[in-house]
C-alpha cells in the first residue's frame, strides 16, 4: 500500500501516515530526552478533563472562542440521530468535559494541593484542541500534539530552565538549516488580571520561535499563577510555586521540516537525529 500524505478529515484533523508518524515520534523522543536530561520525569495526562479542572485556569473566561467541550448523548428517550454531521443541542446532555488547548495544565493538576521540591521538572505530551477560524494542513489543526517541559518550583528554577532551552532550541533549529526568529509574544492568559497584565508589559512572559511565520516552540513564564490556582507550595519556604514551560507543537515541526527537506521525511528524520547529537550540551 502506498501511503498518501496525512489523510485530512474535514480539513481540520489528520491521520498521520507512517513517515509522518515516525518523524513525529523521533522529534518527541528528542524533546523528551531534553527534559529527562534536565531532571524531568514524565507523566501522562488524560486528553480531556472534568470541566471544573480547566475552569480553575480561567480558560472559559479568557479564551472562550478557542474551547471545545464534550458530553454524552441524551439517551433518556429514543437515541438521537445526527443530521448533517452534527447533533442538535437537545440531543446532548450538558457538557462536563473540557478538551484542553494546552498541555501543561496536566502538570499543574498533577501537583495540585501538594508541596514540591523547588527544582521540580516534569515532561508530558498531550493532544491539544483549538477551535480556530481556519485550519491549514499540519500548520494549523483542530487537534495536535504538544510536548512540554514544565518547571514547578522557585522563580529562579523556572528562569534557569527557560534560559537553558531557549539556547538549545535556537542551536537545534539553526543546525537543521531553518531560519528561526525569536519573538516576544503576548500571552492572553493574564488579560483579565490587572496586576499580571501590567507585569507582562514590563517583562514579556512568552517567547515564540517562529519559522516561516509559524510558531513551532515557545518558552513561557507564569510567575505563581498556576501555583496559586492549584495550591502548589514549595517544600522549603511554603510559598506558592512558580511555574514556567517550554512547549513544542509537533505537527508544526513536521510542516516546516517537510518544506525544508522537500517532502523527504525519512531524510528529515535522519537530520533531526544528527542535529540533536551535534547540539547536545
Nearer to a copy of itself, 142 or 256 (CB): 142
Site string for a copy of itself, 138-177 (x = CB under 8 A): ---xxx----------------------------------
Instruction: Write phi, then psi, for 56 (nearest 5 degrees).
Output: -55, -25
Tell me the C-alpha distance between 261 and 168, whole Å: 21
C-alpha grid cell, residue 190: 493574564
Stretch that binds a copy of itself, among 13-21, 172-180, 220-228, 262-270 (CB under 8 A): 13-21
Number of residues in contact with a copy of itself under rule CB under 8 A: 77
Stretch that binds a copy of itself, among 59-67, 160-168, 256-264, 268-276 (CB under 8 A): 59-67
Quick check: 215 binds a copy of itself (CB under 8 A)? no
Query: Among 37, 112, 179, 186, which residue interacts with a copy of itself (rule: CB under 8 A)?
Result: 112
Q: Are strands 143-153 and 119-129 parallel, antiparallel or unpaired?
A: antiparallel
Q: Are 174 and 249 in contact (CB under 8 A)?
A: no
Stretch that binds a copy of itself, among 57-65, 160-168, 214-222, 271-279 (CB under 8 A): 57-65
C-alpha grid cell, residue 226: 498556576
Q: How far is the CB of 258 from a copy of itself (least distance, A)?
A: 15
Quick check: 44 binds a copy of itself (CB under 8 A)? yes
Query: Among 26, 131, 159, 273, which residue interacts with a copy of itself (rule: CB under 8 A)?
Result: 131
Stretch that binds a copy of itself, among 41-49, 161-169, 206-214, 257-265 (CB under 8 A): 41-49
C-alpha grid cell, residue 240: 506558592
Q: Which residues pair with 242 in a beta bridge?
A: 153
Residues 62-101 that bind a copy of itself (CB under 8 A): 64-65, 67-73, 75, 79-82, 85-97, 99
Quick check: 10 binds a copy of itself (CB under 8 A)? yes
Nearer to a copy of itself, 15 or 278 (CB): 15
CA dihedral over 249, 250, 253, 258, signed as positive or negative: negative
C-alpha grid cell, residue 55: 475552569
CA distances from 279 to 40, 168, 209, 256 (A): 19, 7, 17, 19
Q: How far is the CB of 235 from a copy of itself (least distance, A)?
A: 8
Q: How far is the CB of 86 from a copy of itself (least distance, A)?
A: 4
Quick check: 133 binds a copy of itself (CB under 8 A)? no
Tell me the C-alpha distance between 227 and 112, whole Å: 8
Q: Are strands 206-211 and 180-185 parallel, antiparallel or unpaired?
A: antiparallel
Of 117, 122, 167, residue with least CA distance to 149: 122
Q: How far is the CB of 204 from a copy of itself (least distance, A)?
A: 27
CA angle 171, 175, 177 (to 5 degrees): 125
Q: How far is the CB of 162 from a copy of itself (least distance, A)?
A: 20
For residue 265, the 8-state DSSP code is: H
Query: Among 129, 190, 226, 248, which residue interacts with a copy of itself (rule: CB under 8 A)?
Result: 129
Amino acid at each position: 500500500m502506498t501511503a498518501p500524505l496525512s489523510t485530512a478529515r474535514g480539513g481540520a484533523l489528520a491521520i498521520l501516515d507512517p513517515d509522518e508518524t515516525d518523524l513525529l515520534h523521533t522529534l518527541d523522543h528528542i524533546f523528551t530526552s531534553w527534559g529527562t536530561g534536565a531532571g524531568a520525569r514524565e507523566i501522562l495526562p488524560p486528553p480531556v478533563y472534568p470541566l471544573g479542572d480547566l475552569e480553575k485556569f480561567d480558560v472559559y473566561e479568557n479564551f472562550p472562542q478557542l474551547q471545545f467541550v464534550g458530553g454524552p448523548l441524551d439517551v433518556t428517550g429514543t437515541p438521537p440521530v445526527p443530521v448533517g454531521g452534527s447533533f442538535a443541542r437537545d440531543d446532548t446532555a450538558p457538557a462536563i468535559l473540557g478538551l484542553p488547548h494546552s498541555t501543561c495544565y496536566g502538570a499543574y493538576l498533577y501537583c495540585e494541593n501538594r508541596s514540591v521540591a523547588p527544582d521540580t521538572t516534569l515532561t508530558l505530551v498531550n493532544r491539544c484542541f483549538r477551535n480556530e477560524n481556519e485550519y491549514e494542513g499540519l500548520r494549523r489543526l483542530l487537534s495536535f500534539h504538544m510536548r512540554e517541559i514544565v518547571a514547578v518550583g522557585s522563580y529562579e528554577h523556572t528562569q534557569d530552565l527557560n534560559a537553558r532551552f531557549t539556547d538549545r532550541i535556537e542551536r537545534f533549529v539553526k543546525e537543521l538549516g531553518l531560519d528561526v526568529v525569536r519573538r516576544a509574544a503576548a500571552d492572553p492568559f493574564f488579560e483579565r488580571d490587572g496586576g499580571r497584565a501590567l507585569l507582562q508589559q514590563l517583562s514579556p512572559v512568552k517567547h515564540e520561535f517562529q519559522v516561516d511565520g509559524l510558531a513551532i516552540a515557545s518558552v513561557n513564564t507564569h510567575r505563581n499563577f498556576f501555583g496559586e490556582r492549584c495550591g502548589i507550595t514549595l517544600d522549603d519556604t511554603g510559598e506558592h510555586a512558580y511555574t514556567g514551560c517550554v512547549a513544542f507543537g509537533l505537527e508544526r515541526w513536521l510542516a516546516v521540516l517537510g518544506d525544508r527537506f522537500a517532502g523527504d521525511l525519512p531524510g528529515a528524520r535522519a537530520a533531526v537525529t544528527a542535529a540533536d547529537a551535534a547540539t547536545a550540551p
